[in-house]
Structure 1
Amino acid sequence: MSATSDRSVVQSGRVAFRREPEYGSVPEGSDAEKRLREIWEGESGWRGFFTTVDHKKIGLRYIVTAFAFLLIGGVEALLMRLQLARPNETLLSPEQYAQLFTMHGVTMIFLYALPVLSGFANFLWPLMLGSRDMAFPRLNALSYWLFLFAGLFLYCSFPFGEAPNAGWFNYVPFSSLEYNRGPNIDVYSLGMVLLGISTTVGAVNFVVTLFRMRAVGMSVDRLPIIVWGTLTISFANLFAVPSVSLAFLLLWMDRNVGTHFFDVAADGRPLLWQHLFWMFAHPWVYVVVLPAMGIVSDALPTFCRRPLVAYAAVAMSTVATMIIGFEVWIHHMFATGIAPLALAFFGAASVLISIPSAVAVFAWIATIWMGRPVFTVPFLYFASFVLMFVIGGVSGVMTAAVPLDWQLNETYFIVAHLHYVLLGINVFPVLGGITYWFPKFTGRLMNERFGKIAFWIVFIGFNVGFFPMHISGLLGMPRRVYTYPEGMGWDTSNLVTTIGSFLLGIGIVLFAINALLSARRGSKAPPNPWDASGLEWSVSSPPPPYNFAVLPIIESRHPMWEDRIQPTGRRSHLKEGYLLHHGREALGVHPFSGKPDVILKMPDDAWSPFLLGVFAAFMFLALLLRSPSFTIISFAASGATLIAWMWPRRSLAQREPPTPKQVTAAPSALKDDALPVGSAGEHSGGWWGVLALVATEASLFGYLLFSYFYSQSQTQLPWPPEGIPKIGVGALSTGVLVLSSVFTWFSERTLKKNKRWWAFAWLLVAIVLGTLFVGVQLKEWHNHPYGLTAHLYGSLYFTITGFHLAHVLVGLVILILLAIWIALGYFDEARNAPMRIGGLYWHFVDVVWLFIFTALYVTPIWLRGQ
């Protein structure tokens, strides 16, 4: 193994630890390789199970857990199909059917479809990108534990007969307290908020990983399509998940606190629920589709023995699909009395979205047509997916025509379309993807003959089960009915659908059996058993704990096919590259140029993600049980765990650098300046993570303000009903908060100049001003003649300002911790990433208040003057 020397750089009288990028090779079985394995190998046994942050183990857990939920959701579906197989069946009561119907939708859409794709991305992204780990390993583990606990939370209601029962869309007023008094909807509301936290945390991790953890040379035009798909939906989740989380939170408050967001009797707006829900749920359709399309785009060419046709067009169509998907949520609300102009606009947008989807379809067909297909099990799943995609897409375009949608809405035609889109377009790529990457997951190959039997049963069962639903819908069968009388013309189609559903279930079970048996007894797989082109196939099967002994240098989109695609030209460096062997280290690159930017110290295995997941789940359970003391204890435990998680280590500047080693020069094209070691200043991955968090929090406040203005536009009552808020008080609190942000900035600047105690003093001033803002806000609340539950305006005003106040309190805790850490000497002019991160969050809180002040204080005065 070759290496370059370590060195330190003196800055302002202090030593900042930097190191030149090291270049060389690590032979398999060498002492260096064994040391890497020891460094990256986590604990075994039960401790390792709870503390691991290995992205490969987390990815496999996602896939296995999501597949278990798929089987549970399938059992629920089969029970419903038995109920509908014949007219006037009495196997299930209406309430039992409603709970099964709701939990089937929740399970398939939220607990299976996205989590299984997150599993693929978690396992494959670092291998495809040429990295040793995700950007935030502990955050990655937390995302999984929150997903698991949210699923268990939702299902804990089943044994008590109190499962969610208003459909996965949960429309009000049926889900309001007046018509649904049990805990069913509270379970759903709190479970979905907890699941939304998991999804958001995962999305932040994916976004920052793509921007910061790529191999050198991995430019955007060399990214696998699955990376494009997962990156696109991760951005979408940052902006869409806050909508549904807010909707469920407002509904929970209506049911448990007495607010009036959806209460018609108090001028609430049930249609607000549909807006908030479908602003999330329509993009979510593409969230569970685009990564699956990426699986096909990356794996299908392997069995066609040629690269994907029109790579750039497919990548851009992936992004375009999601962008347009955000614009068509009213596609689901054509029958709610929307204005004709809106119907025309959203109907046209619903047709327009078929164009980027068609680009991908034609690219897949052209790849098959121009290649030399090898009819293996993965190819069969991927090719059949194209057919499912076309059927589901065509039926979707049909419902984009408003007059036809009015006829088909609330019929089984929509149920058929939904299953082809959410199940057919997801399940077939997932089964094919599991088969394709099974060697990388386990080191073994799945049984080919058994796999083909399972495939044909799945394919026939799926189409026999779901295609007749189109016919049932065209014959007028309504959705969500638990039984039907004889003589309606639906008997035969329902019986055929039930038979097909059981056939599909048998195929899925056979696939699972094949996977379980093959994981133990399957043929051992070489590193690249399919002769694939992707970077993930350059390492052993399964991959070592560190992924890459040397970090590769990428020169093409198909590093394993370079010899056959371009006989001459530059070659990727897969056996020689950057050496990072001083502990758990990964290379951070510049987000846009992709040049080496920092040597990141990655965290070891930790208990904190699991414990935080447990305490968060307990907090939501306490809210369900309406236990204030249990809630406070769980909240305090969560906060203490977070503080322990964030507590900084001693500055790398205070450590002795390693002993210098023999220098071996890297190729001149790869020569770099010394890089900072650790999360120093603008090199911090945490800064980018908080930036992504700020984006999703800004969306949350945006949806809150949308709810405010939407409610204002629909009411016929005076707004505000009790008089305009005192703008003088609001202006005072605004000035105080803005001033606190200025002093926080002063603290950041003085710390960079190594004036630690001045930085501490300015931060104390900012904390005092932030506390003063809290006092002014509480005083203003006390002086209002109305409260949270007085009327719709009161509910909106106190929720918006209260939600912001909660962010201010969190920000104050962060500032206090930063002040303590400055006083303890953790930071200096080179080591100040937490200060920049905390400052970014505090500035965001202040900017949000400017929008709230304008909406709640300034706008009413302007409207009264019109």
Structure 2
Amino acid sequence: MKQHFSPIALHHALDKDWRSPKGWRGISAVNHTTVGLRFIVAALVFFLIGGVLAMLLRAQLATSGNAFLDSDAYNQVFTMHGTVMMFLFAIPMLEGFSFYLLPKMLGARDLAYPRLGAYAWWCYLAGGLILVTAMALGLAPDSGWFMYTPLSGPTYRPGINSDIWLIGVTFAEISAICGAVELIATILKLRAPGMGLNRMPIFAWYILVTAGMILVGFPPLILGSILLEIERAFGLPFFDVTRGGDPLLWQHLFWLFGHPEVYIIFLPAAGMVSTMIPVFAQRPLAGYVWVVASVAAVGFLSFGLWVHHMFTVGIPQLAVLFFSAASMLVTVPTAVQFFAWIATLWSGQTRFRLPMLYLAGFLVVFVTGGLTGVMLALVPFNWQAHDTHFVVAHLHYVLTGGMVFPLLAAACYWMPHITGRMPAGKTGITAFWLIFVGFNLTFLPMHLTGLLGMPRRIYTYPSDAGWDTLNLLSSLGAFIQAMGFLVFLLDMFLHTRAGRAAPRNPWNAGTLEWATPTPPPSYNFASLPDVQGRDPLWDNPALGAELAGGRHWLAIPAPGQRQTLSVDVLTGNPRSVVQLPGPSWLPFYAAIATGVFFVCILFKIYEVAIVGALAALLVFLRWAWQNGARDDPASIEAVAQIMLPAHFAASGAPGWWGMACSLAANAALFGSLLFGYLFLWTMAPNWPPPAWIDIPPAWGALAACLPVAATIAVRAACSANQSGRRQACSFWLLAGALASIVAILAVCMVVGRLPPATSHAYVATTFVLLCYAGLHMAIAGILAVHVALRCRAGYVSRVRSLEPAVLRLWCDYTAIAAVVVIAALYGLPRVFP
């Protein structure tokens, strides 16, 4: 029989289980609201640091022959400015907003993996602190935020500066990938009942595509950073021309990340625009389906544009033609979104409140940046403007117009939700005009200095170049813009201290986050909403009161548990009740162990680095051991007379999707590694090498076949578990682990037959490919033993079969990767002799 709770009693019962610890114990917090706000605050601090660095750059370039900064200091400042803005502000700020908003928009109580989100936060903070501390000590990277080789290689940058960039950025990008896995699984599985894909808020579609782009776009840069660090630390010649490497490989890997990065930054901001414009027009978004299709098209096309940045490096003309056409083609789906926004405003009754003012500024600035982007897509013009201030101006118009203006609008729009207070009017308007005028005064003249031939990345210029007046205007505009941001921050401070109390849903929005009180409780919703349309609050204005009164799903508190719903990916029909973990110190410990590994790699203390890696592995195993239950769970009453199983006893659980997303990122890194191997073999100088590597056929065959045997054994274990034969399941899992161990020995035997890896890029890439396969075999063996022990301890049963299914995914991937690696090492020398 359903127990009745008053709204106040329901609030106290849920808050007891969901609230984050206070004081220093807050380090263990995993609640998405807390973690999201931490991302936002930290990203704001890094933005202020990046802004100060920008002011230093503009002070140096204000006049010709300026001696304010010398060349070394200028190189460090402009490298750190780009690095901070791209890696420590843009993506973390947008992920922070996504962490905070998405569960509330989707009608969930938290993200799919709260501890993973907390781990992502600590990794981001650690990576940022590494970079900022290095700058404070005068050891900041100084080869540009793009780190082009050979300038960033050991020959020209023998110090620690470049290593700091490689380690710090890789650490931060691990955070971004963890966040992407978290967001994809949450959007696909943790939605309100009835919220099918066709009813999702438009912001969720933008974040879903963006997170998928992160999974595919970030691994190439991570791989490039790993290879460059290996070259710098151990001398393996991936980018050294004299030993078969090629510096253009770095450019390809970097821009495989770098150009999708532009859209990774733009799309979440555009999602905010698509969310806010219907609210201020008071009508649904025009062309919802077309906008969704255009967002997916932008995500797909963005990966075909990376050579857009390499037109002047001497690539074949046919490739230039293809990438030029692709660069112009991507404007089509972007234009679809733009016209959808205009149509929504045109057909509605637009209210020009403060957030709408920033949105209008975004529309003006972004269109200007888009037009210059089309110009740069034309090869003849690109050749003339390449590496000039015209490109700098275009970049800032697109990124600032595409991200910062929507972000400022979003801050004004959602701050009442966070603080429960409305923003001030006049101060916000003053901030807008200072930012808008200062921005255009800063970057519009840069188009002209670029057309007059001013190169980027120069710290001084002669007085007779004719650039003084334009540069002085740019510097003046930069300081006006900085004043605008300071006024904006003052407005936000006054907002939190003296703003009038915000009513629930002050903008009359239709999305679910405004169904919560403002500020929201720790659990978001006292009961989870039943969604019947794309704008739930417009469909049912009383929905917030109904949820607070416990009239919808999961209105009965489960003491000591954090529960939310998992739904069918397509239809949104409820499938299971997800039991989420509470506050935990494990993400913090895992981040510390990971940080020890990276810092010791930075200072070349490799023995301690290995200890850090092992400590991280043990923490993650302990993390995994805490999941699940030893007994088959009883069904849970999700709503009156509807019983649902616990998530670990249901098919298609969020954990399966998390492994699938992780393997997608892994496959992107593997694909980038194979691309590098093929690129060096077919395009690099000093190839083919003097002789093929003689890999013993027997050991090579074992290295390929044994991982296949391991995955067959794991599949047999899954079948045995489904038949209720627990002992047989454990036996087959241990057999799979044994096959993985023997496969590692086979890989070691192959590696032992290689010439010195420092002798030629052919040997170095072969070595890395074998290490990749061997590492995955080792992880497969460890996971197989772990699941076997879990099986013996009673955590695995015919009903609770999630862990063997997740292991099977990993082993299947490992087998495929091993076969591909051995096939490439044996076959490529025969295809391209």
Candidates 771, 781, 803, aligned match of 2:772: 803
Change (3 A) 1:359 1:574: farther
Q: Structure 1: which amino acid aligns with 2:451?
A: L
1:190 aligns with 2:159: no
Deviation sequence 1:441-475 (CA, Å, 0-9, x none): 11111211211111111111111111111111111
Tell me if structure 1 keeps the 8 A contact 2:442–2:473: yes
Alignment root-mean-square deviation, CA: 2.0
Candidates 707, 710, 713, aligned match of 1:737: 707
Percent identity of paired positions between Structure 1 and Structure 2:
38
Alpha-carbon shift at residue 722 of structure 1 (Å): 3.8
Deviation sequence 1:210-267 (CA, Å, 0-9, x none): 1100111212222222211111110011111110000111111111111000001112
Residue aligning to 1:594: 572
Tell me if structure 2 keeps the 8 A contact 1:302–1:530: yes
Candidates 554, 559, 571, aligned match of 1:579: 554
- Count of residues in Structure 1 that have an aligned counterpart in Structure 2: 826
Change (3 A) 1:756 1:288: same
1:820 aligns with 2:785: no
Change (3 A) 1:47 1:320: same
Q: How does 1:344-743 map to 2 (within 5 A)?
A: 344-562=321-539, 576-579=551-554, 581-582=557-558, 583-649=561-627, 651=629, 653=631, 665=640, 672=642, 674-680=643-649, 682-715=651-684, 716-719=686-689, 721-743=691-713
Partner secondary structure for residue 575 of structure 2 = strand
Partner secondary structure for residue 551 of structure 1 = coil
1:293 aligns with 2:270: yes
Q: Which moved more, 1:740-749 or 1:288-297?
A: 740-749
Q: Structure 1: which amino acid aligns with 2:691?
A: P
Change (3 A) 1:563 1:611: closer
Cα distance in structure 1, aligned partners of 2:813 and 2:35: 32
Cα distance in structure 1, aligned partners of 2:832 and 2:34: 57
Candidates 52, 58, 64, aligned match of 2:35: 58
Cα distance in structure 2, aligned partners of 1:308 and 1:747: 50
Candidates 755, 760, 763, aligned match of 1:794: 763
Cα distance in structure 2, aligned partners of 1:111 and 1:741: 39
Cα distance in structure 2, aligned partners of 1:657 and 1:233: 35
Cα distance in structure 1, aligned partners of 2:458 and 2:286: 45
Q: Structure 2: which amino acid aligns with 1:812?
A: G
Tell me if structure 2 keeps the 8 A contact 1:216–1:552: yes
Q: Structure 2: which amino acid aligns with 1:834?
A: E
Deviation sequence 1:159-200 (CA, Å, 0-9, x none): 221101111111111111111111111001111211121111
Residue aligning to 2:247: 270
Alpha-carbon shift at residue 820 of structure 1 (Å): 1.6
Q: Structure 2: which amino acid aligns with 1:28?
A: P
Alpha-carbon shift at residue 279 of structure 1 (Å): 0.7
Tell me if structure 1 keeps the 8 A contact 2:210–2:299: yes
Deviation sequence 1:502-548 (CA, Å, 0-9, x none): 01111111111221222122211111111112111111101111111
Tell me if structure 2 keeps the 8 A contact 1:787–1:798: no
Alpha-carbon shift at residue 593 of structure 1 (Å): 2.4
Residue aligning to 1:669: none
Deviation sequence 1:715-769 (CA, Å, 0-9, x none): 4533572444233321133222211211111112112222111111122222221
Tell me if structure 1 keeps the 8 A contact 2:628–2:648: no
Alpha-carbon shift at residue 307 of structure 1 (Å): 2.1
Q: Structure 2: which amino acid aligns with 1:480?
A: R
Residue aligning to 1:3: 2
Tell me if structure 2 keeps the 8 A contact 1:165–1:184: yes
Candidates 750, 756, 780, aligned match of 1:780: 750
Residue aligning to 1:14: none
Q: How does 1:167-316 map to 2 (within 5 A)?
A: 167-316=144-293
Partner secondary structure for residue 156 of structure 1 = helix
Partner secondary structure for residue 225 of structure 2 = helix
Alpha-carbon shift at residue 832 of structure 1 (Å): 2.5
Tell me if structure 2 keeps the 8 A contact 1:442–1:542: yes
Q: Which has the higher contact order (CA 8 A, sep 6+)?
A: 1
Partner secondary structure for residue 578 of structure 1 = coil
Cα distance in structure 1, aligned partners of 2:689 and 2:573: 54
Cα distance in structure 1, aligned partners of 2:613 and 2:277: 47
Alpha-carbon shift at residue 787 of structure 1 (Å): 2.4
Tell me if structure 2 keeps the 8 A contact 1:720–1:793: no
Alpha-carbon shift at residue 367 of structure 1 (Å): 2.1
Alpha-carbon shift at residue 26 of structure 1 (Å): 5.7
Residue aligning to 2:7: 28
Partner secondary structure for residue 463 of structure 2 = coil
Cα distance in structure 2, aligned partners of 1:496 and 1:486: 16
Residue aligning to 1:22: none
Tell me if structure 1 keeps the 8 A contact 2:354–2:429: yes
Cα distance in structure 1, aligned partners of 2:635 and 2:740: 40
Tell me if structure 1 keeps the 8 A contact 2:30–2:117: yes
1:765 aligns with 2:742: no
Candidates 151, 162, 166, aligned match of 2:139: 162
Partner secondary structure for residue 401 of structure 2 = helix
Alpha-carbon shift at residue 126 of structure 1 (Å): 0.7
Cα distance in structure 2, aligned partners of 1:169 and 1:645: 36
Cα distance in structure 1, aligned partners of 2:232 and 2:669: 21
Change (3 A) 1:572 1:268: farther
Tell me if structure 2 keeps the 8 A contact 1:555–1:572: no
Tell me if structure 2 keeps the 8 A contact 1:328–1:350: yes
Cα distance in structure 2, aligned partners of 1:755 and 1:789: 51
Cα distance in structure 2, aligned partners of 1:466 and 1:342: 31
Candidates 823, 829, 837, aligned match of 2:806: 837
Cα distance in structure 2, aligned partners of 1:706 and 1:426: 31
Cα distance in structure 1, aligned partners of 2:309 and 2:147: 14
Tell me if structure 1 keeps the 8 A contact 2:630–2:796: no
Q: Which moved more, 1:95-104 or 1:712-721?
A: 712-721
Cα distance in structure 2, aligned partners of 1:153 and 1:813: 31
Q: Structure 1: which amino acid aligns with 2:583?
A: D
Residue aligning to 1:21: none
Partner secondary structure for residue 682 of structure 1 = coil
Alpha-carbon shift at residue 415 of structure 1 (Å): 0.4
Alpha-carbon shift at residue 340 of structure 1 (Å): 0.8
Gaps of at least 5 residues in structure 1 are 5-24, 667-671
Cα distance in structure 2, aligned partners of 1:792 and 1:579: 59
Change (3 A) 1:429 1:720: farther
Alpha-carbon shift at residue 863 of structure 1 (Å): 4.4
Change (3 A) 1:649 1:697: closer
Residue aligning to 1:136: 113
Tell me if structure 2 keeps the 8 A contact 1:76–1:100: yes
Tell me if structure 1 keeps the 8 A contact 2:75–2:143: yes
Tell me if structure 1 keeps the 8 A contact 2:107–2:529: yes
Partner secondary structure for residue 555 of structure 1 = coil
Change (3 A) 1:477 1:769: same
Residue aligning to 2:25: 47
Cα distance in structure 2, aligned partners of 1:261 and 1:609: 34
Alpha-carbon shift at residue 359 of structure 1 (Å): 1.2
